[in-house]
Amino acid sequence: MRRIMLSASLVLFVAVAVSGTACSSDSGGIGTTLDEWTITLGETSGASGEITFDISNEGAKVHEFVVFQTDLAEDQLPTTTEEGEIIVDEAGEGLTAVDEVEDIAPGSDASLTVNLQPGTYVVLCNRPGHWENGMHATFTVA
Ligand SMILES: [Cu+2]
């Protein structure tokens, strides 16, 4: 009898562990919403190491998601122009490009996993004019 109860609780434990894993892989990333003209992060800080941004474009325009390491304020980045509109100068002083996802269509999702060291990061959309219109957010890694 005692042995049967032990195996029953072992089965229960395994079942909980498996469903716990499935649950965390569904929502393991940082929810990231792109829209005109905002980038909204579900969390604005995280621990160093691999971080995944689960990106949804809920806007009506194509957007992109670019990650920079920088100590500059998110609305005070070096700029240049493209198609007559302001964009962030990705080679500008004080910016270190980390990674990006381009051309995220309206209504579609994307995912970006980056390995981040402690520091301050700015995420933004660098389609012409979009950063200037407000598509930027700050993310801190401890
Ligand atoms: Cu955009």
Mind listing the pLDDT tens digit for each residue in 82-118?
999 999 999 999 999 999 999 999 999 999 999 999 9
DSSP 98: E
The predicted structure's pLDDT at residue 28: 77
The predicted structure's pLDDT at residue 43: 97
Convert 11-46 into a string of H (helix), E (strand) and C (coil).
HHHHHHHHHHHHHHHHCCCEEEEEECCEEEECCCEE
Q: What is the maximum alpha-carbon separation in the chain?
A: 79
User: With bands split at pLDDT 50, 70 and 90, how would you rate the model's confidence at 121?
Assistant: very high
The predicted structure's pLDDT at residue 141: 98
CA of 49 to the centre of ligand 1 (A): 27
CA of 135 to the centre of ligand 1 (A): 6
CA of 125 to the centre of ligand 1 (A): 5
Alpha helices in 1-142 (DSSP H): 2-26
Q: How far apart are CA 44 and CA 41, in angstroms?
A: 6
Burial class from Cβ neighbours inside 10 Å (0-12, 13-18, 19+) for residue 86 reads middle
Share of the chain above pLDDT 90, in %: 80
- CA 1 vs CA 8, 10, 58: distances in Å: 11, 14, 56
CA of 104 to the centre of ligand 1 (A): 9
CA of 34 to the centre of ligand 1 (A): 7
- Of 138, 139, 136, which is closest to residue 63 (Cα–Cα)? 136
Instruction: Tell me whether the omega of the peptide bond preceding residue 131 falls within 30 degrees of 0, making it cis.
Output: no
pLDDT over 70 (residue 60): yes
